Amino acid sequence: MNMLSEHLLLLAIATPFLVAVAIFAGLPKRYSVKLSYLGFGVPALISLYLWRVLPADLGGHYAYLARYDTGLSVLGIKLTLGLNGISLPLFVLAGVVGLAAGLYAIQSGAERLKIYLALLLVMQSGLIGAFASVDVFFFYFFHELAVIPTFIMVGIWGGRDRSYAAMKLTIYLTLGAMLSLIGLILVYAQSQAGSFNLIELRQTLLAEPLSITVQKYGFGLLMFGFGILVSLWPFHTWAPLGYGAAPSSAAMLHAGVLKKFGLYGLVQIALPLLPLGAAQWSGVLSVLALGNILVIGFVTLAQRDLKQVVGYGSVMHMGYAFLGVATLSVVGAGGVVLMMVGHGLSVALLFLLSTSVHHRTQTFDLSEMGGLAQKAPVLAAFFVAATMASIGLPGLANFWGELTIFVAVWKSSPWLAAGAVAGVVITAIYALRATASVFFGSPSEAFAKVAAQTPPVDLRWSEKVPALILLVMLLVIGFWPKSLSTPLNSALQAIYPAMSALPPEIARK
């Protein structure tokens, strides 16, 4: 490993942040836009390069491990960056969705575009940092760095009910962050490891596991804290409201990537370190996950606003991921990671395309739409493909995550599996109905507005390019899942020894 390779992760984090600092410092607009291409492009290229060259047989080890002194070493805090089979898929997701959201934002013509791009770049830096961090302190720090711009962007560039949405986002996400922080501090304090480094924490707790009581409280704090950040039912109400109000690129980054932070924390940190605590909460988590799938699924069926359908559908699908966590298995955890990637790509694409529909019809109301495919066939084709991905069509990335989770849930409880499969039917109904309402059927008044437009109304290249990036990734992973699943399985098999050794009588509780 050469010197450059050791610092690629730091470069991926620093580039968007430094570009944002330059923009905040007063860089002229024309240079701000040009540098923004660099800020979004460098992390994406690095993530794709590392995806290509990362060894598939790392096991429990990290590649590109690099440590940087922060002056906090006395507290056991040191910026440690690295990738293993679990973090690699999320790192790639952050790079690719960040690039698509950034390209879309650059051409959006938003007011105060410089500041808008700078905030997105800060968000991108935080997302890349969170999934590249091996130190738990910086894992949490980078999440906070990414989430703060969300509040600002919703409050300034948001749409309907933006003030209320920003306030609700702040309250819920702050509560979730505080609970998860308390849980992380509890694990650190009780482990006696003297370090926030995840590698050292695992080694310490594998040799001397925490008591079942401490694990129970620790996992409970992390489950509810991370769960709120992911929109676990019934703590989900901030998400559809926030996504409905958020500007498109912010919604793409938050729903597509940032919301995966909590699930990633459960898979990478909570389950391996606190397996006995996870066993105590698995039943509760399963019930709450079914709430996401069934309760939110029926709520989604009742929506008549296109962006709310996408928002509530995103919340609903998190239920599958929580069910995968609740199985306490390597198969379930692997399915969760694969689903996070597929869902992140497809929901980001759906938010982008929903905004494209609005730009042409000036409405999100499904009852006012119809027949758009006649004038915008490319937009219709992309939207149908994104819809098929969200349903879990084979050949697209979402399929593999959902299939793996269903297998793990079936082994755990056929009744839970039946509830999960019912969610697929609900998804198909609301997704296909929304697609038909917008693009097919009798032309509506909104369609008449589109037909009257002189310029072409189909997708422009500024929309096609980011949409194509996301769709190509959905297809690549859909047809080549082993590129992610092989290193992922290797990592899970290595760091879940305590999970596989759970006594049956405890695992059933």
pLDDT at position 75: 61
Give the per-residue pLDDT at 4. Answer: 55
Cis amide linkage into residue 275, ω under 30° from 0: no
Q: Please, are residues 421 and 307 in contact by the beta-carbon 8 Å criterion?
A: no
Phi, psi of 133 (to 5 degrees): -80, 135
Res 1: pLDDT: 45
Three-state DSSP state, 27:
coil
Find the Cα–Cα–Cα–Cα dihedral 129, 135, 140, 143, rounded to 10°: 10
The pLDDT, as a whole number, for residue 44 is: 95
Q: What is the pLDDT of residues 442-469, one digit of tens each?
A: 776 666 666 565 455 788 888 899 999 9
| pLDDT score at 16 | 95
Task: Please tell me the predicted confidence (pLDDT) of residue 129.
Answer: 93
Structure tokens at 325: 């966590």
Amino acid, single-letter form, for residue 82: G
Q: Could you give the maximum distance between any two Cα atoms of the chain, in Å?
A: 71
Domain boundaries, the chain: 3-507
Tell me what pLDDT residue 503 has.
46
Per-residue model confidence (pLDDT) at position 218: 92
Dihedral sign of CA atoms 125, 128, 134, 139 in order: positive
User: Which single residue is written with the structure tokens 């676990």?
Assistant: 232
Q: What is the mean pLDDT of each run of 10 residues along the chain (509 residues)?
A: 68 93 86 90 93 80 79 68 90 95 87 89 94 90 90 82 81 90 89 82 84 90 92 87 85 90 92 89 92 92 89 91 90 92 94 89 82 86 93 90 90 85 90 89 67 66 92 94 89 71 42
* Distance between CA atoms of residues 49 and 43, nearest Å: 10
What is the distance between the alpha carbons of residues 295 and 278, in angstroms, rounded to a whole number?
Answer: 24
Question: How far is residue 308's CA from residue 184's CA, in Å, rounded to a whole number?
Answer: 33
Per-residue pLDDT, 504: 42
DSSP assignment of 192-256, as one string?
A: T----BHHHHHHHHHHSPPPHHHHHHHHHHHHHHHHHHHT-TTS-THHHHHHHHS-HHHHHHIII
Task: Determine the Cα–Cα distance for residues 319 and 509; give it in Å rounded to an integer.
Answer: 20
Position 365 scores a pLDDT of 83
Helix (H) / strand (E) containing 171: helix 162-191
